[in-house]
Amino acid sequence: MSVRKSKFNIGGILRTNTVRPYKKITVLQLPKTNYRKEEKHSMEITIQQTEKLLKGTQPFSELGFSLMLTRLRTQYAKNPSQPLLQSCMGEINAFLKKFSAIMNTDYAIITKM
C-alpha cells in the first residue's frame, strides 16, 4: 500500500495531508438459486367449482381475486352459457397460476366447495 502526500493551501497556510488509496472491497455473491416456493400441485379448478364460485357469494381474502370474481359473476348472471363458463374457468385458472404464492388460503377455500 503506497502512501502519497498532497499539499494544498487553506487560508494562506500550506498544509500537507496523507492520502491513502482505498482498500479493495470484496462483495459477497449469493448463489444463484430460485428461492420461490415451488408448488407440489397445480392450482386449477374444475368446471363445477367454477360454477359454484360464480353462483356463490363466498368472500375471499385477496382483493384482486374478489374483484375478478365480482366481474365474472356479473357477466355470468347476464349470460349463463357453457362457453362463458369455460372462459371464466380459464381466466380463474390463469389467475391462480400467476398468483399461486399468495392464493394458498383462498385456494383451500375453493377446493372445499
- d(CA 41, CA 103) in angstroms, rounded, equals 13
Q: Which residues contact 46 (CB under 8 A, 6 or more apart)?
A: 89
Q: Output 91-97 pairs: Cβ under 8 A, ≥24 positions apart.
A: 92/45, 92/50, 92/53, 92/68, 93/43, 93/44, 93/45, 95/64, 95/65, 95/68, 96/43, 96/44, 96/45, 97/42, 97/43, 97/44
pLDDT one digit per residue (tens) for the chain, 113 residues: 555 555 555 565 655 666 666 666 666 666 666 555 554 557 899 999 999 999 988 888 999 999 999 999 999 999 999 999 999 999 999 999 999 888 888 888 888 87
The domain limits of the chain are: 47-111
Confidence (pLDDT) at 35: 53
